[in-house]
Amino acid sequence: MADPTTTQTIDLLVIPAAIVPAEPAGVVLQDHALAVDAGRIVAVLPVAEARLHYAPRETRELPQHALMPGLVNAHTHLAMTLLRGLADDLPLMDWLQNHVWPAEGQHVSRAFCVDGVRLATVESIRGGVTCANDMYFFADATAEVCGAAGLRAAVNLIVIDFPTAWAAGPDEYFAKGIAVHDSVRGNPLLRTMFAPHAPYTVSDGPLRRVRAYADELGIGIHMHVHETAFEVAEAVKQSGQRPWQRLKELGLLGPDFVAVHMTQLSDEEITEAATYGVHVAHCPESNLKLASGFCPVAKLLDAGVNVALGTDGAASNNDLDLFGEMRTAALLAKGVSGSAQAFPAAQALHAATLGGARALGWDAEIGSLVAGKSADFIAVQMNAAHLTPCYNLVSHLVYAVGRGDVSDVWVAGRALMRERRLLTLDETEVLAKAVEWRQRIRN
């Protein structure tokens, strides 16, 4: 906050119709402005005070818009946008083993990942996503593309037992992953997480190494866990143990662990998730499409577990629309729990913003509009027919707003989209590349 007797020069002052800071939850600020300087939020304060105390180099007046934190996609596979719609209406293991893995074996390369991540970045920014937690091969490509586009990203260092185009085996996965980690250190928009794919694709030895390296480097772990009943039943049949129990015994569970999907949970496992401080990345639309099951969100939240939202990859969703995930998650939680009060709008918005940031260990920096945090925020145009009238803005953001209503996006104070025009990517070129890949893959 500026000294009341002086005028402080700042980079940007945004004056919207309303601000939804996400912290405290459910708060809506009318007649307020957001002051930004050097990529950070200087203040959120009444408009009259802002005009008195700040001399902005740029002022954006958005009288038909709401400002809110940028959305955090807590689980995705960005490059898989190039496989969107390749194999639909199939259960998970059939989809993976007979369609996705063969296609990846034939086509995935660094060039595939560069073009796929660029396509995903266009879609993400247009949909108000300012941070993505990306689990895929060629993590160096993800870092390169997201860094150039200005999209914040947790770049995952994938580990899997079998060879892929990225690495021949665990030793090479670790070596390449640590090299990527070293290459992005110091970049404020990029960080890394280890990503052992799933309990059924990573054996005990590599999992122990993941924990040891994560502790040594001070980074998180991100893993598919209990995605389907089949996965759990097969593990019990083969080892006598549920995957969660195995991960617990191997020491993987902790406050730096993000468990994705979690559709098959006992009450004891829910309690343990809270005890260990594990975060859950809930991907409702992918789980529905693959008939994987229902994450017990209401029970997890009641137990004190932090729940974030992810889209999963566009090959199983089939989009990267986090506004859609918010709405689906809120509705699904009500249906599964039998309570219309389960996962209310403010909680869903928290999961898509501050909950995601917390899962990635980035909540001190992003996820809410608070002075001192990075200026990662979006403007949502609220004067469309499907948004009129508006009685409760937070409710509207979850149940009525669509990603097409996002007009402007900033990350670390840098505008990535202005009045629906992308500023850091050539969309025409990106789409042309995607069409080329369709021809190649289809043939």
pLDDT (tens digit, 9 = 90+) per residue, 188-241? 999 999 999 999 999 999 999 999 999 999 999 999 999 999 999 999 999 999
Please report which confidence band the pLDDT of residue 91 belongs to, taking 50, 70 and 90 as the band edges.
confident
Query: What pLDDT was estimated at residue 96?
Result: 86
CA-to-CA dists, residue 60 to 34, 68, 376, 393, angstroms: 10, 15, 16, 21
Domain span(s) for CATH 3.20.20.140 in the chain: 71-359
Domain span(s) for CATH 2.30.40.10 in the chain: 8-69+369-412
Q: Which helix (DSSP H) or strand (DSSP E) does residue 437 occupy?
A: helix 427-442
Average pLDDT over residues 85-111: 91
Give 385: exposed, middle or buried? Use CB within 10 Å, 0-12, 13-18, 19+.
exposed
State whether residue 193 is helix, strand or coil. strand
pLDDT in tens, 379-430: 999 999 999 999 999 999 999 999 999 999 999 999 999 999 999 999 999 9
Question: 71-359, what's its fold?
Answer: TIM Barrel (3.20.20)
State both tokens at 51.
Answer: 């005009």
22/130 Cα distance (integer angstroms): 15
Backbone Cα Rg of the chain: 21
Pick the range with the lowest mean pLDDT from 151-160, 249-258, 434-443: 434-443
Give 311: exposed, middle or buried? Use CB within 10 Å, 0-12, 13-18, 19+.
buried
Instruction: Tokens 């990517």: give the residue.
Output: 425
Query: What pLDDT was estimated at residue 1?
Result: 47
Res 6 pLDDT > 70? yes
Query: What pLDDT was estimated at residue 4?
Result: 55
Query: What pLDDT was estimated at residue 92?
Result: 83
State whether residue 318 is helix, strand or coil. coil
State whether residue 158 is helix, strand or coil. strand
Query: What pLDDT was estimated at residue 305?
Result: 98
Report the top-level CATH class of 8-69+369-412.
Answer: mainly beta
pLDDT in tens, 318-362: 999 999 999 999 999 999 999 999 999 999 999 999 999 999 999
